[in-house]
Structure 1
Amino acid sequence: MSLSKPSSSNPNILFTLYFLMFAAGGIYFTYFLIFLRQSGLTSAQIGVINMSGGVVAFFASTLWGYLSDRTGKARLLLAFAIAANGAIALLYPLAHAFPAFLAIACVFAIFNAAIMTLMDSLALNLLGERRHEYGKYRLGGTFGYISTTLTIGFLFERIGLRWMFPIYFLIMLLYALLATRLPDSSTGASRSSLPSLKALGTLLRQPGWGVFLATTFLIWLASSGAISFLGIKLKGMGASDSLVGVVASAAAIFEIPFMLYSGQIMRKLGIPRTLWFAIIGYIARVFLYTVIPTPEWAIAVNGLNGVSYVLYWNAALQFNNQNAPENLKATAQGILVSTMNLASVASALLTGGLYDAIGADPVYSLLAGICVLALILFTLGNRRLVFPPRTEAEPLAQADRT
């Protein structure tokens, strides 16, 4: 795949795109489960919706990445998916029964998977040799997330949660329009450089890939359950909608220095050690949710978002990008996102079924235990997390030609 050289405006475009992406996400993912609960759905039904969306996204993520690698049209695919995602969200207020909510969520997940897969892959490709600076541009997402989670809860207390979807749509529409201004990530793939299943198999057989994906699966299983039900847990403790928003924005505020300096941290510690420290951060964060005496304490616990989520996600992206051949980078990103979506499915089955049965604190203790299991797996297997020099990785990029 031949990449066009980023223009001087690209960093500003990426910063703004991430701002809009996470501003919309701050609205949707903070209040969506609360909206479903207020619509009369049980925890088990909410878990089924999360599970079904995760199943759809599991298959869709890799397909979107592969389609991007095959066509070289990541920019247009991204813009289309963003617009479709925002439009589908407008259907939620029209639903009045569990089957309708489920159907909308599954279609929503198809296009949301494209955004999660293509945005980061496109950003890393555009940054090229400057991809270690990814955190600086992804910081736009942090500010976007803060801007909505810190303020929108006060608005929803006045106008109701049903207005979250029109607001979400407007932000996504602006996001889609701006995405069309991105330069093409490819000048077109030649027939000989198109990715094949053989090249994909070579990618998956790289040393350490299984350890990396298995660890990511466990971490995302635990964190997905913890974050998805945090709003419901806090509401059960007496929190207001505005406090739920403040808790969510606190996580983003505390991640700012880690986004700014994640590149330096990874160069200092190395990717495996950065991942290791991030897993420790997840263990502490998820466990502390079980012992907070009042919902306000969740603000302090979310201070661990930087050392857990930011370090793990940024290091995982770098591991993915460094190990993937040039013509399979979007596909590799799709596999990573698919692994996370599969973890979300397992998390929905686990937390959705147990939350009503045993209560919040036992569920969160179980999720913390899963993080400990991830740490054990990673510690035993991290010697296989290797980074082949460019000269050794080159045959992987050629594997589909033989």
Structure 2
Amino acid sequence: MLPLRKREVHPAAGHSSRSLSALKRFNFFLYGTIAILTSFFPLYFQNIGLSKVEIGMIMAGGPFISIFANPFWGYWSDRLQNVKRILIFLLTGNLLATIVVFQLREYAVIFAFMLIFFFFNSPTFSQSNSLILNAIENTNYKFGAFRLWGSLGWAIIAALAGPVLSWMGLVNLWMLYGIMMLISLAFTIGLPQGRVTSKPKTERQSYWKVMLSSKLFFIFVILGILISVPNSINQTFVTLYISNLGGSNELIGWSVFLSAIFEIPVFLLFDRFLKKSARMMLGGLVIVSILFVIRWLLMSVAGGPLQVIFIQVLHCITFGGYYYIGTSLTALLIPAEYRATGQAIYALTWGGISGIIAGLFGGWMFDYLGPQTMYSICAIISVAGVAGFTFMWMKYRKQSELAAS
């Protein structure tokens, strides 16, 4: 396993307070903009006549493309040592592809252009995380203090988008999204580059060998799929679930708001109490996985849109906790000069492989088994994840105790 390296900490290094403030504003609008599409895309596709199976197939295309897109953009980000430039490429391609998609009505053509869209969209969050981690390297700043601005944007902009789209109509979703994406691009001005200069670059042929030389990281990525598949199913179909139960666009917006706004205190608490210890982080993953099981069981017995909305509040500690701990664990195990690709590989667990499974089988379960049965199956899958992370934590604890004795 790669040695866990201690780094010198300085009050500030490499980046001005102005560029770090720009990073917070950028995350606010980036996450808020993508929240609009994530929340209302399935409803838009349903509105133009696509079935839930077809919607599931489209949404599965994104995770499939991300298997290639995340490492591709992660490699170029590490090679160029300029995460900011990569993010500008991604957002520009995202915007252009989206404009085309909203002009189409044929399923096959929509599917093809959505693959292009996902090529630019899927790596966005992992690259944003890498920019944060690189910008705060060797400073006293914490990851959560920047990432919480993303949650704030996700919550507020999604809540405002609900009544706006009720007024504009879902057919005009592209206009709202396009305007917000242009604002996000404007806020890339002033961002730090995200350069890492702590170590010289290694040769490309040793790249994957370095990435996979951590057995702990490899097992974490594999087990993460068991937790991420149910979460991806929920992310894809929860808005359709609320709509089927009689919920309006406004209620869907508030559902997104409540699921994201409480991530902010969660991130602050993790900033304060989560130690840079693999043992503690694995224990945290066990607790978060148990809460995921409870969340899916509650969703399986929900009887109305308001119940679903309040259950969504658990998103803050389940996904928020898993996201924060996983990002921190990846940064702990992977060398800084390979950080962008490390985050890209981690992103495959919650947006790649798991998303393919969620899109392909989630749509079928929703249509033919019903959403209640779908969420019951999600709970069973999460139980397997709990068992895996518990075994992993116990084994690592035993190894740590033996090494200390």
In the superposition, the TM-score normalised over structure 2's length comes to 0.89
Asked if the contact 1:19–1:143 (Cα under 8 Å) also holds between the matched residues in 2, the reply is yes
Which residue of structure 2 aligns with residue 147 of structure 1?
A: 156
Tell me the distance in 2 between the aligned counterparts of 1:376 and 1:34: 35
Which residue of structure 2 aligns with residue 96 of structure 1?
A: 105
Shift of 1:179: 1.6
Which residue of structure 2 aligns with residue 279 of structure 1?
A: 289
Amino acid at match of 2:149: G
1:327-371 per-residue CA deviation (whole Å, 9 max, x = no partner) reads 211111111112331110011111122211111100111011111
Which residue of structure 2 aligns with residue 395 of structure 1?
A: none
Which residue of structure 2 aligns with residue 270 of structure 1?
A: 280
Q: Aligned to 2:372, which of 358, 361, 365?
A: 361
Distance change >3 Å, CA 131–CA 207, structure 1 → 2: farther
Tell me the distance in 1 between the aligned counterparts of 2:140 and 2:292: 25
Distance change >3 Å, CA 206–CA 131, structure 1 → 2: farther
SS class of match (1:20)? helix
Q: Aligned to 2:266, which of 249, 258, 263?
A: 258
Which residue of structure 1 aligns with residue 145 of structure 2?
A: 136
Tell me the distance in 2 between the aligned counterparts of 1:238 and 1:289: 16
Amino acid at match of 2:72: L
Shift of 1:55: 0.8
1:201-248 per-residue CA deviation (whole Å, 9 max, x = no partner) reads 233131312321022111111100012101111111111111111111
Amino acid at match of 1:305: H
SS class of match (2:214)? coil
Q: Aligned to 2:346, which of 336, 346, 367?
A: 336
Shift of 1:131: 7.3
Shift of 1:200: 2.1
Which residue of structure 2 aligns with residue 208 of structure 1?
A: 216
Asked if the contact 1:90–1:169 (Cα under 8 Å) also holds between the matched residues in 2, the reply is yes
Tell me the distance in 1 between the aligned counterparts of 2:214 and 2:197: 27
Amino acid at match of 1:289: M
Which residue of structure 1 aligns with residue 206 of structure 2?
A: 198
Which residue of structure 2 aligns with residue 40 of structure 1?
A: 49
- Shifted more, 131-140 versus 145-154: the winner is 131-140
Structure-to-structure mapping, 1:62-141, within 5 angstroms? 62-130=71-139, 133-141=142-150
Amino acid at match of 1:238: G
SS class of match (2:122)? helix
Q: Aligned to 1:298, which of 301, 305, 308?
A: 308
Seq. identity, %: 23
Tell me the distance in 2 between the aligned counterparts of 1:311 and 1:265: 12
SS class of match (1:151)? helix
Which residue of structure 2 aligns with residue 237 of structure 1?
A: 245
Q: Aligned to 1:247, which of 235, 255, 259?
A: 255
Amino acid at match of 1:359: G
Asked if the contact 1:254–1:302 (Cα under 8 Å) also holds between the matched residues in 2, the reply is no
Shift of 1:89: 1.1
- Shifted more, 269-278 versus 340-349: the winner is 269-278
Tell me the distance in 2 between the aligned counterparts of 1:52 and 1:294: 30
Which residue of structure 1 aligns with residue 298 of structure 2?
A: 288
Which residue of structure 2 aligns with residue 164 of structure 1?
A: 173
Matched, 1:370 2:381: yes
Tell me the distance in 1 between the aligned counterparts of 2:25 and 2:373: 40
1:272-307 per-residue CA deviation (whole Å, 9 max, x = no partner) reads 122122112211112211111211012221221221
SS class of match (2:275)? helix
Which residue of structure 1 aligns with residue 360 of structure 2?
A: 349
Amino acid at match of 2:308: A
Asked if the contact 1:209–1:385 (Cα under 8 Å) also holds between the matched residues in 2, the reply is no
Distance change >3 Å, CA 286–CA 130, structure 1 → 2: farther
Amino acid at match of 2:180: I
Matched, 1:182 2:191: yes
Asked if the contact 1:279–1:375 (Cα under 8 Å) also holds between the matched residues in 2, the reply is yes
Asked if the contact 2:13–2:138 (Cα under 8 Å) also holds between the matched residues in 1, the reply is no
Amino acid at match of 2:368: A
Aligned residues: 385
Distance change >3 Å, CA 160–CA 38, structure 1 → 2: same
SS class of match (1:296)? helix
Asked if the contact 2:155–2:260 (Cα under 8 Å) also holds between the matched residues in 1, the reply is yes
Distance change >3 Å, CA 187–CA 219, structure 1 → 2: closer
Shift of 1:195: 4.8
Tell me the distance in 1 between the aligned counterparts of 2:248 and 2:15: 45
- Shifted more, 226-235 versus 124-133: the winner is 124-133
Amino acid at match of 2:273: I
Shift of 1:382: 2.4
Amino acid at match of 2:389: F
Tell me the distance in 2 between the aligned counterparts of 1:371 and 1:345: 17
Shift of 1:196: 2.3
Shift of 1:188: 7.8
Shift of 1:189: 10
Which residue of structure 2 aligns with residue 392 of structure 1?
A: none
Amino acid at match of 1:361: Q
Tell me the distance in 2 between the aligned counterparts of 1:18 and 1:219: 25
Amino acid at match of 2:357: A
Matched, 1:325 2:335: yes
- Shifted more, 316-325 versus 180-189: the winner is 180-189
